[in-house]
Amino acid sequence: MTKAQITTAVEEAARLLRENPELTYKEAIDAAKEMIEDDKKRDFKIN
C-alpha cells in the first residue's frame, strides 16, 4: 500500500469507529481496507 492508501484506510477506519463504537480497531481497519479495495476494483472496471 502507498502512503496515500494507508492514510485513506486510517481515515475510513476512524470514521467507522465513530459510527460503530462496538467495532475493534482491527475490525475497523479490515473493513476500511476492504472498502478501498472494492472501490479500486469498481474504478478499474469503469475505466
Long-range contacts of 16-24 (CB under 8 A, 24+ apart): none
| Domain boundaries of the chain, sorted by first residue | 3-46
**For the chain, what percentages of helix, strand and coil (3-state, to nearest 5) are there?**
85, 0, 15
Mean pLDDT of 25-45: 85
pTM (2 decimals)? 0.73
pLDDT in tens, 11-30: 999 999 999 999 999 999 99
